[in-house]
Amino acid sequence: MNSNSRRALKVIISGGGTGGHIFPALSIADALKRANPRTEILFVGAENRMEMEKVPAAGYRIVGLPVAGFDRKRLWRNFKVLAMLMKSMAKAKKVVKEFNPDVAVGVGGYASGPVLKQAQTAGIPTVLQEQNSYPGVTNKMLAPKAQAICTAYQDMERFFPAEAIVLTGNPVRVALTECALTRKEACEDLGFDPEKPLLFVTGGSLGARTINQSVEVALKQFDEAGIQVLWQTGKLYADECGKVAEGYPLVKAMPFIGDMAAAYRAADLVVARAGAGTISELELLGKPAILIPSPNVAEDHQRKNAEALTSRGAAIMILDADAPAQLGEKVCALITDREALDSLGNAIAALAKENSAEQIVDVIYSVVS
């Protein structure tokens, strides 16, 4: 629908803490602007978290709340968390009153709790976007009073009111789906030989310790098998992984990869965590993947994300504790098995939800019209 046919809205988008929350939020904001460029958008996030940098860099205004997540292991620390929550509720109430939005959108993460709660109290329609197959505490708390809940997985009636659920998928960065490079071109752009198999390993922008350790253990196997490796180590592990890779000419270890679209296009196989955003990218691009779920996430939701794929033959899962011993053998067996790669690629592509951001915008307009 073109911008002339939709009225300009005032929208609060709240949530964050990780890229898995921030990138979908920015995709929704961009889609709202495409629907009507005069739409006003205010982000609300958590102070000192990555959204306070990423959102302004994308051209949007953001307000930070002094909010933090509950410490489930050291309960005595939560007295401070509760005090911060009370301050955040008061600030959120002021933000909602002054901005006076038509709708508030929550993308998960503890920052969205105070804002969406205050919006609901004020009678403002709310829309939730849940990226994972097992929802976070904040979205479960807000769901009963939400007008709509946009999900990426089937069978979410276990957690949310069935009448509010809309299956939209997760928005991903537009650059990933618009990339027109062939595999050969992408390999050459990245400095790899298109005639040899290429493994792309990513643990996210900060890196994942277990994934990096598992790659280090397997590098000799990869080298002997003639497997090229594009290894995004994350900035926390850049130095140590860079030194490890020095003895292997087929390996490029990089702290951060700016052109993820080229990396995905070049790869025959991807090794990654099982965050919702990563899975959505793999689905849309139809990439065969070995998923190593992080055990350090709320409700073990990454394992549940991965199981939603493995149960459909759409990915291979290795548990975090097993990865150092198993990754090398699994990669070497899979990456040259064209039939197995095609089967995984076709199965994961079948789960993709296209135009998710636009679908979520449709939902937003439906609750304010």
121-156: burial string, b at 16+ Cβ within 10 Å, e else: eeebbbbbbbbbbbbbebbeebbeebbbbbbbbeeb
Give the residue-averaged pLDDT of 335-353: 96
For 182-223, the pLDDT digits (tens) are 999 999 999 999 999 999 999 877 778 999 999 999 999 999
Closest CA to 299 of 108, 120, 115, 104: 108
**Diameter over CA atoms, the chain:** 64
Q: Are 22 and 172 in contact (CB under 8 A)?
A: no
Closest CA to 300 of 158, 135, 151, 108: 135
Task: Give the tokens for residue 177.
Answer: 């789906």
Give the residue-averaged pLDDT of 134-139: 88
CATH domain 3-170+354-368 topology: Rossmann fold (3.40.50)
Task: Give the tokens for residue 7.
Answer: 């009225």
DSSP 58: T
Give the residue-averaged pLDDT of 323-344: 97
CATH domain 175-349 topology: Rossmann fold (3.40.50)
pLDDT of residue 8 exceeding 90: yes
- pLDDT on residue 2: 46
Residue 52's pLDDT band (cuts 50, 70, 90): confident
For 247-271, the pLDDT digits (tens) are 899 999 999 888 999 999 999 999 9
- Total residue length of the chain: 369
pLDDT of residue 296 exceeding 90: no
Residue type, 38: R
Give the residue-averaged pLDDT of 120-125: 97
Domain boundaries, the chain: 3-170+354-368, 175-349
Question: Three-class SS of residue 321?
Answer: helix
- Tell me, yes or no, if the two domains 3-170+354-368 and 175-349 fold the same way: yes
Q: Are 255 and 186 in contact (CB under 8 A)?
A: no
- pLDDT on residue 16: 76
Cross-strand bridge partners of residue 13: 43, 105
DSSP 56: H
Closest CA to 107 of 195, 35, 45: 45
